[in-house]
Amino acid sequence: MTRQELTRAIIHTAYLNQDGHIASALSILDSLLCLYDHILTDEDMFVLSKGHGCLGLYATFLHKRMITEEEFYSFCQFNSKLGGHPSSRKIPDIVFSAGSLGHGLPFAAGVALGHKIHGVSGQVYCLIGDGEANEGTTWESALIASTYKLDNLVCLMDCNGSGERAIKLNPCVGKFYEFGWDAVEVDGHNTNSMVSTLTLPHDNPLFVQLNTIKGKGCPAMENNPEWHHKWPTTVEQYEKIILSIPDEPVHT
């Protein structure tokens, strides 16, 4: 499926079921597609700490045929596998049940440390949000990861500007570098840049700041805080939003 088709699918299931964080899902969609199409191997593990952006993950699963269309469009329905936050008890391919922010990176660091101790190969990737960096657990995990030289840990931060409404911590590249990480920033909507960065060898835990646009691909939602936890409520509003999505590719 194309990026535009997945964008429309995310908005459609949110409209059908009147729930979801659409704009957050769209800001991480390109990085998720990059990971699942180009980076992750059978030995790797992915943790979505930014759980409210789960529609981006579910859309990626739909793209990879890891779930059916019926399952995707059952989002947040009674007895659906797909809730407002991903559950490891309902979907085998999800290893971490996200909820309150700030828990995914500690989990990922613990798994990476365990893998180092037991000689397990593969990388552990964790996607957090920039607002999530306000949680102290983020920096405790950053310190632990560098102390134990977890070169098998990669933290990706979806830097879509949400954190600017709280404590302004960005840019975080320098902060993670001072904590002993290899740290870079890239365009979080440019697949080539992300692949180039994520395939480079690193001797320390790797931090990648993904500079993104909240609501990317949907002009009505781009950089509009109103759409943080909102969905189309009428047919007219839904159709207007869907028609506004350009047919040309919005990422490389």
pLDDT band at residue 163 under the 50/70/90 scheme: low
Chain mean position to CA 132: 12
State the pTM of this model.
0.94
- In eight-state DSSP terms, residue 11 is H
Is 30's pLDDT higher than 50? yes
Tens digits of residue pLDDT in 108-157: 999 999 999 999 999 999 999 998 998 999 999 999 999 999 999 999 99
Mean pLDDT over the full length of the chain:
94
Tens digits of residue pLDDT in 51-83: 999 999 999 999 999 999 999 999 999 999 999
pLDDT band at residue 165 under the 50/70/90 scheme: low
Mean of pLDDT values over 31-58: 97
According to DSSP, the residues that pair with 185 across neighbouring strands are: 209
Range with the lowest mean pLDDT among 23-37, 153-167, 182-196? 153-167
CA distance 187 to 37: 17
CB 95 within 8 A of CB 103: no
Domain ranges for the chain: 3-244
pLDDT band at residue 161 under the 50/70/90 scheme: confident
CATH class of 3-244: alpha beta
Token output for 82? 């797909």
